[in-house]
Amino acid sequence: MPKPMETPQLSSLYQQLILEHYRNPRNKSELDGKSVEIHMANPVCGDEIRLQLRIEGDEIAEAKFVGQGCSISQASVSMMTTLLQGRSLDDAGTLARRFTDMMHGDEDAAKDKALGDLRALQGVSKFPVRIKCALLGFDALQEALKKEVSGGTN
């Protein structure tokens, strides 16, 4: 019989805060006057979002999203949008990197208060097949930032 694998705890994955964002997503609607929109999908599971940002100068004036998917992907993008309002593009980039680090098991990143509610998603890093779900929104954000830097609206 093969050696049993390490068993991560479900309770670390499905925290109340995550389920709460899944049920009541923040900033989930079409954004008027958006300056950039990124569509990001996971063809394996059908999760998809459209992240919409209104950018003024080097600042994200407003961030919204529409989409559908599992609790992890939808909670992650919902939490992310709450942190993006009024944030500089540089800060947003740092946030995306810190969150990605946390997903890849970086304990320091997981203690970073700048991640706010997103720290509730730390448990996802113990479920390798679900990391993609948590990163869906941040992948869209990084794509959006790349677009802005390489000659967007400014």
Partner 1 sequence: MTVQPFDPRVLRRDFPTLDQLVHGKPLAYLDNAATSQKPKRVLDALDDYYERDNANVHRGIHELSRRATVGYEEAREKVGRWINAAESAEVIWTKGTTESLNLVAMAWGLDHVHEGDEILISVLEHHSNIVPWQILARRRGAILRYIEIDDQGRWILDDLDTLINDRTRMVAISHVSNALGTINPVQTVIEAAHRVGAVVVVDGAQGAVHTKVDVQALGADFYAFSGHKMCGPTGTGVLWGKRELLEEMSPYQGGGEMINVVSRDESTWAALPHKFEAGTPNIAGAIGFGAAVDYLADVGMDGIIAHEKALLEYALGRLDEIPGMTIYGPRSLEERSAVISFTLGDAHPHDISTILDAEGVAVRAGHHCAQLVMQHFGVSSTARASFYLYNVQEDVDRLVEGLGEVARIFA
Binders in 115-144 for partner 1, by CB under 8 A: 127, 129-130, 133
Per-residue interface string for the shown chain with partner 1, residues 50-89, x marking contact by CB under 8 A = ------------------xxxxx-----------------
Residue 55's H or E segment, with its range, is strand 47-56
CB of 4 to partner 1, least distance (A): 4
> How far apart, in whole angstroms, are the C-alpha atoms of residue 56 and residue 46?
32
Contact 141, 55 (CB under 8 A): no
Residue 25 interacting with partner 1 (CB under 8 A): no
CB of 104 to partner 1, least distance (A): 19
Backbone angles phi, psi at 85, to 5 degrees: -60, 120
Contact 143, 47 (CB under 8 A): no
CB of 14 to partner 1, least distance (A): 5
> How far apart, in whole angstroms, are the C-alpha atoms of residue 71 and residue 20?
9
Coil vs helix vs strand at 45:
coil
Indicate the residue among 32 and 44 with the shorter CB distance to partner 1.
Answer: 44
Q: Which of 14, 91, 143, 147 binds partner 1 (CB under 8 A)?
A: 14
Rg (CA), the chain: 16
Site for partner 1, rule CB under 8 A:
1-2, 4-5, 7-8, 10, 13-14, 19, 23, 44-48, 68-72, 127, 129-130, 133
